[in-house]
Amino acid sequence: MFPLYDTVPTRKRPYVLYALLAVNVVVFLYQESLNRVDLLQFMYNFGLVPARWTVRGWERFWQIRTGLQLNVSKWWSPLTHMFLHGGWSHIIGNMWFLWVFGDNVEDKMGHVKFSVFYLSSGIAAALAYFPFGFRSQIPMVGASGAISAVMGAYYVMFPYSRIVSFVPIFFFFTLTAIPAGAYLLLWFLFQVLSGVLDSTMNTGVAWWAHVSGFILGVLWGRYEKRKLYYL
């Protein structure tokens, strides 16, 4: 089920969403301009590599093995990793989901609060991944954790919305308006199942960052709704 658009109109232009889309695209195009060696160094500098934090001496060992130097502090990586992507399908999928769900959440929260929510949720979701990839030497990149949080907030804030989606039926596709609550719950359960199966398959996808981000978004969304209720 691939989402095309939702049925909830927005009242204000989502300027923060536009900025996030632009920054992600610009960074990805910059990545595409790099040669393989420079791209490797870029990914390890700005991607979130758990081994940089958890394996003593790993950074020095990596430098000796590759001949490259990690010259950016690892403390930036929980933030910077969410603006990097691993390929065209990765960034197109992420940006499309952000486009479909992000404008309404920004409309509900406001520009400043949405900025804080997006960035802090992306950082928290990445850190929540650590117990599952504790010694991983592969850079974790992508906005998926933050976007999952946006989807979690949408799940709470717009439960009666409809998500117009491409739905495959055998060899054909049909357009179907799916209740947002059902769509996002199925998406969440798929992430959980994928995370459980990945413990043996090791696909390299940070499924538990998606799960953690969605839960964070649900909690933040519930807080926002409760605060509005008491105003």
Domains of the chain: 2-230 (1.20.1540.10)
Three-class secondary structure of residue 142 per DSSP: coil
Q: DSSP secondary-structure letter at 134?
A: T
Other Cβ atoms within 10 Å of 182 Cβ, number: 13
Q: How far apart are CA 60 and CA 66, in angstroms?
A: 10
pLDDT score for 151: 97
pLDDT score for 206: 82
Other Cβ atoms within 10 Å of 42 Cβ, number: 17
The residue count for the chain? 231
CA distances from 118 to 19, 182, 198 (A): 12, 23, 26
pLDDT mean by block of 10 residues, the chain; 231 residues: 88 95 97 95 94 90 88 92 94 96 95 96 89 84 95 93 84 84 94 80 76 94 72 47
